[in-house]
């Protein structure tokens, strides 16, 4: 069978995106090329352009898919979690699962290379972080109203701190090859939001 033809099947675009996602999460956007994907799929580079004419288009499509998947995960948390505390714990678990698999958050990796990214990819990265911060702010505000969280200032500011802390914790955990660093940091992060009486109960 012709190599180029095998890359034009109905499942090929998904496979290309899957490979690109993994490569970015491990190497970064500037650390992979179409040649890496072509080699992994055993097809020609020209056949990849059939689905994604440029690397910029591939990156934009990948980010749009990633955001859609993450938003679905947040919607699932909203439906399944019992209260703000459990929602926040489930949110942190999304990051924990990624770092436990030896990968980084896709958007965290892209943010580190933000200045060199094509504009369409930058726009999608910003949409991801904006959506995360907005969701977290809602959870935090509900939690403060219910007495589950205690914090000063606006919820959106705390949401931004949480996202930044989790992304940073992932980076250091990966640098040291020690997932426990992420686990310890995220636990302390959540503990700081609990009222003092809840912190004491949690320790016991």
Rounded CA-CA distance 139/11 in Å is 37
For the chain, the domains span 1-53, 63-203
Nearest 10 degrees: Cα torsion 15, 18, 22, 27: 70
Quickly name the fold that domain 63-203 has. Tetracycline Repressor; domain 2 (1.10.357)
Q: Spell out the per-residue pLDDT of the chain, length 204, in tens.
A: 444 445 666 688 999 999 999 999 999 999 999 999 999 998 888 889 999 999 999 999 999 999 999 999 999 999 999 999 999 999 999 999 999 988 889 999 999 999 999 999 999 999 999 999 999 999 999 999 999 999 999 999 999 999 999 999 999 999 999 999 999 999 999 999 998 655 545 554
Provide the CATH topology of domain 1-53.
Answer: Arc Repressor Mutant, subunit A (1.10.10)
pTM summary value: 0.86
Predicted local confidence at residue 9, as pLDDT:
63
- Residues 6 or more apart whose CB falls under 8 angstroms from that of 109 comprise 24, 25, 28, 29
> Three-state SS for 189?
helix
Instruction: Name the token pair of 165.
Output: 């802390």
């Amino acid at each position: 069978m012709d190599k180029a033809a095998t890359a034009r099947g109905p499942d090929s675009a998904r496979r290309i995106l899957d490979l690109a996602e993994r490569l970015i999460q491990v190497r970064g956007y500037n650390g992979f090329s179409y040649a890496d994907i072509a080699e992994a799929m055993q097809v020609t580079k020209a056949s990849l352009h059939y689905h994604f004419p440029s690397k910029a288009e591939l990156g934009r499509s990948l980010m749009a898919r990633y955001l859609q998947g993450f938003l679905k995960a947040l919607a699932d948390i909203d439906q399944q979690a019992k209260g703000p505390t459990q929602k926040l714990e489930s949110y942190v678990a999304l990051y924990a699962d990624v770092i436990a698999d030896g990968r980084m958050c896709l958007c965290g990796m892209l943010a580190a290379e933000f200045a060199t990214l094509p504009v369409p990819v930058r726009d999608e990265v910003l949409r991801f972080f904006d959506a995360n911060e907005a969701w977290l702010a809602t959870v935090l505000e509900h939690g403060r109203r219910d007495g589950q969280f205690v914090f000063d200032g606006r919820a959106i500011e705390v949401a931004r701190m949480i996202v930044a802390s989790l992304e940073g914790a992932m980076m250091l955990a990966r640098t040291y090859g020690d997932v426990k660093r992420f686990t310890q940091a995220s636990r302390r992060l959540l503990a700081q939001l609990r009222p003092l009486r809840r912190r004491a109960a949690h320790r016991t």
